[in-house]
Structure 1
Amino acid sequence: MADDNDRLDAVLAHLDADLEASLQRLSSWLRIPSISTDPAHAPDCRAAADWLRGALEPLGFAAQVRDTPGHPIVLAKTPDTGKPRVLFYGHYDVQPPEPLELWDSPPFEPRIVTLADGRRAIVARGAADDKGQVMTFVEACRAWRAVHGELPVDVTIMVEGEEEVGSKNTPAFVDAHRAELGADVALVCDTGMWDVHTPAITVGLRGLVYEEVTIRAADRDLHSGLFGGAAQNPIRVLSRIIAGLHDDAGRVTLPGFYDGVPETPPEVLAQWRGLGLDAARFLGPVGLSEPAGERDRMVIEQIQSRPTCDVNGIFGGYTGPGAKTVIAAEATAKLSFRLVGDQDPQKVRDSFRAYVKSMLPADCTATFGDHGASRAIALPFDLPDLKKAAAALADEWGRPAVTIGSGGSIPIVGDFRRLLGVDTLLVGFGLDDDRIHSPNEKYDLTSFHKGSRSWARILAALSA
């Protein structure tokens, strides 16, 4: 054991000594404007993939840039040595930087700044989402290779270039390359810390059903003075349908909606209570005060472990300046359902559509649009690799790692389970104030440095 600790200590010391050089490497990657949604930046996306391939090859990886119908994927592997194999996933594409006038400096010219509270951070588009996070893992691999000439586990790295546009081609790539991507566990660094001092492992991701519904009545917009009171109004019908989706206690009313929803273990709920995430702390910074979800649930449950239904957009009739007295011929809403546990996306979709049809009065019809669906993902709380990673994080940060759920959805995690049969540890070092997708995106230098040290520890722990 002492020898193992000595090996790890030497790697950690190397990461400390090499911090400045590692920041320079990250900065060179951040300078590439790999904006996946803009066709004009397709060459930059390929340049970012090529850059990563070039960074991985000296570390003992057989690295390639693989083409897809969209942006390329970087696939890199160390040789099989009989050790446990991990599959690391990340993405090199970034969000558009607009509005440019709100940046304090050019978004693709990284710079180190000191924040108001004394923290230091690197500011650039992609610093936290996800190039900085990917580089924490790469730098951990670099340190192990530099000090010991090998990694403690066999490693496969897959970094895509379409995460910010829905990963359209990634599932097919994973399916087509199952043999190359096989691993004992997958690792993702695209999540966050609980707070600036407390590491976290995300053990649950909510699934998603996204629906669009359009209610139609008359064959054209009608004059509200001539037809008002007699003609059916699709906006009023749609409003009544939406209003009926929740009861007074904040529960979703769709039949069967809660089928497959598990209860969070009491010991996890106790841990969550101790985190102090009340309404004032969570909602206050966005100008709100009262939780709008299920009244008998804590705020942290409402955003992590309970299913939801939200209206994401509603429109119909005249929405231009001034007045136009019409009864609209149609009205449309877009709705998302966040799912947990074993909720079946298709059953939720079917239940919603049946409910809408049951609420239609005479002279009204409904059409639906399907904008995607994915199941929820949850790790077993007693998963051995989860316990190893949690212990490694606690050693680095000096406090226990919090196991939390995420209200968002990361479909690749479901693809890894469905196509490769592997569970995924989501360990990230982002912070709530990193301004991802916004001007002046940043990544704390502590997140970068201790994130690299954390991955060095986790790789050692997973080798056992």
Structure 2
Amino acid sequence: MPSILADLVGRRETNLGRLDALLRIPSVANDPQGASAMAACAAHVAGLLTEAGMEEVRVMPTGGHPLVTGSWRHAPGRPTLLIYGHYDVQPAGPLEAWRSPPFAPEVRSDRLYARGAADDKGQFFMHILALEAIMRVQGSLPVNVVFLIEGEEEISSPNLSRFLVEQAELLRADWAVISDSAMWAVGQPAICLGVRGLINLELTMTGPREDLHSGSLGGILTNPLEGLARLL
């Protein structure tokens, strides 16, 4: 689709400026003082989706930071694609370790450096731009599209599961695209089919009900620490 690619190339500087504005918002999910920045970033993402031609764009409240949804459903008989991303970022860490301020994007050697540029603002912005270009050049999309952009991925998405259940009909899709993994190498993208998850558990092992002399009875009685070591 050369005309679509040409459209994107022709708008490169403009789109870099739009990405710059997104990256300047310090949307750190675990910052106790960052609620206003998170809300501002969610509103900014909603604006980007609206500019791209998405409809029913909403900033959806949760028990924590808001999610942003938007859709385009004018391809009857065609599948629906769900595009997931997250606008929250990790804390910047030691500022002295940065060559440029983390929330002041800087281009060096044709690469854009800022917190969130590669995780995950740059990725979902790429999808927005691609669909925006297709809409601009062709007037419509070949499939139906639903966006789900959350603000709590970096803190294990505590409100996402409930949202998925409550908004199952809104988010119903045939396929999902999640661009929040890695490239194999520069110029060599990879398709990630899955990642390892997390599990938390607490084990309690009991032993004698009273303190006993380890020197006299340590070799006779079972030590709970030994049992835990075997389990681990």
Map of 1:90 onto structure 2: 85
Any gaps of 5 or more consecutive residues in structure 1?
1-7, 115-119, 243-464
Scaled by the length of structure 1, the TM-score of the pair is 0.46
Q: Distance in 2 between matches of 1:197 and 1:179?
A: 37
Q: Deviations over 1:371-418 (max 9, x none)?
A: xxxxxxxxxxxxxxxxxxxxxxxxxxxxxxxxxxxxxxxxxxxxxxxx
Matched, 1:99 2:94: yes
Matched, 1:57 2:57: no
Amino acid in structure 2 at the alignment position of 1:175 = V
Q: Is the 8 A contact 2:86 2:121 kept in 1?
A: yes
Q: How far has the Cα of 1:59 moved from its partner? A: 2.0
CA distance 1:214–1:86, change in 2 (3 Å): same
1:44-443 alignment, distance < 5 Å: 44-62=37-55, 63-82=57-76, 83-114=78-109, 120-217=110-207, 227-228=214-215, 230-231=217-218, 233-242=223-232
Report the 3-state secondary structure (helix = DSSP H, G, I; strand = E; otherwise coil) of the residue aligned with 1:202.
coil
Amino acid in structure 2 at the alignment position of 1:40 = Q
Q: How far has the Cα of 1:198 moved from its partner? A: 2.1
Map of 1:323 onto structure 2: none
Q: Deviations over 1:328-363 (max 9, x none)?
A: xxxxxxxxxxxxxxxxxxxxxxxxxxxxxxxxxxxx
Q: How far has the Cα of 1:101 moved from its partner? A: 2.7
Report the 3-state secondary structure (helix = DSSP H, G, I; strand = E; otherwise coil) of the residue aligned with 1:210.
coil
Q: How far has the Cα of 1:110 moved from its partner? A: 0.9
Q: Distance in 2 between matches of 1:219 and 1:135?
A: 60
Q: How far has the Cα of 1:236 moved from its partner? A: 4.1
Q: Distance in 2 between matches of 1:93 and 1:241?
A: 37
Q: Which of these residues, 15, 18, 28, is aligned with residue 11 of structure 2?
A: 18
Any gaps of 5 or more consecutive residues in structure 2?
none
Report the 3-state secondary structure (helix = DSSP H, G, I; strand = E; otherwise coil) of the residue aligned with 1:205.
coil
Q: Distance in 1 between matches of 2:96 and 2:187?
A: 32
Instruction: Give the number of aligned pairs.
Output: 227
Q: Distance in 2 between matches of 1:153 and 1:31?
A: 32
Report the 3-state secondary structure (helix = DSSP H, G, I; strand = E; otherwise coil) of the residue aligned with 2:193.
strand
Q: How far has the Cα of 1:207 moved from its partner? A: 4.7
CA distance 1:148–1:80, change in 2 (3 Å): closer
Q: Distance in 2 between matches of 1:79 and 1:166?
A: 30
Identical amino acids, percent of aligned pairs: 42
Amino acid in structure 2 at the alignment position of 1:14 = D
Which structure's residues are more often strand, by fraction? Answer: 1
Tell me the C-alpha RMSD between the 2 structures.
Answer: 2.2
Q: Distance in 1 between matches of 2:140 and 2:133?
A: 10
Q: How far has the Cα of 1:80 moved from its partner? A: 2.9
Amino acid in structure 2 at the alignment position of 1:73 = L
Amino acid in structure 2 at the alignment position of 1:59 = A
Matched, 1:32 2:25: yes
